[in-house]
Chains A and B, each alone.
Chain A
Amino acid sequence: GAGVSQSPSNKVTEKGKDVELRCDPISGHTALYWYRQSLGQGLEFLIYFQGNSAPDKSGLPSDRFSAERTGGSVSTLTIQRTQQEDSAVYLCASSLEREAPLHFGNGTRLTVT
């Protein structure tokens, strides 16, 4: 079946612009995570959704970052007024339930110039 789908796969934007990253999880998966990975670094937790609610937003780096999930399915991560330090690969993952393994999308590589 279809895996986790992320779009765009690559995004180059100018400093100060807003960007939206999209994640379409595996059908039926209730848990959805966003992570960020800078070059050569580990996975940085951003936000977690269970259904449409976000029990844990603690990883969002600043108030320029926000995320929503609608219909228990598609999620959008929005970064306002992008900065160069936002450049990274943004990974989305979903799982059938809270304790189940995560399945990752291919990521969105964001470059802020």
Chain B
Amino acid sequence: QKEVEQNSGPLSVPEGAIASLNCTYSDRGSQSFFWYRQYSGKSPELIMSIYSNGDKEDGRFTAQLNKASQYVSLLIRDSQPSDSATYLCAVNMYDTGTASKLTFGTGTRLQVTL
């Protein structure tokens, strides 16, 4: 069973702090990785995509990928109350004989406190 694992949280961080969200995946062959943010009652929206080992920065967000450890993380600097949401890790996974499909973790709920 191909899996994407996330801590469900809630992860509580004070305003202005760095929030660190982690994700592990089971398929060594995975090549594309995504972080989505989902506000309550809304659809997921793409925050970051990452395809190569290392760090990728976009504004206050940094995605980190380590394929050898099968680990991808999302750092949010200067956390704001508006960042409070559920963060979904998604990984393209391959099953023998089928095309890859995007598999989501169950998400980590982030709470940024004043």
Contact = CB atoms under 8 A, between A and B. Distances in A.
A103 B105 CA distance: 17
A41 to B, nearest CB: 7
Interface in A42-73: 42-43, 45, 48, 50, 55-56, 58
Interface in B82-114: 88, 90, 92, 95, 98-107
Contacts of A48: 99, 101
B17 interface: no
Contacts of B98: 55-56, 58
B34 A45 contact: no
B66 interface: no
A77 interface: no
B46 A102 contact: yes
Interface residues of A, number: 22
Interface residues of B, number: 24
A96 to B, nearest CB: 12
A17 interface: no
Contacts of B107: 42
A101 B46 contact: yes
A35 B102 CA distance: 11
Given A48-B99, A48-B101, A91-B43, 7 more contacts: A33-B102, A35-B104, A43-B44, A56-B98, A104-B43, A104-B44, A105-B43
Interface of B: 31-32, 34, 42-46, 49, 51, 88, 90, 92, 95, 98-107
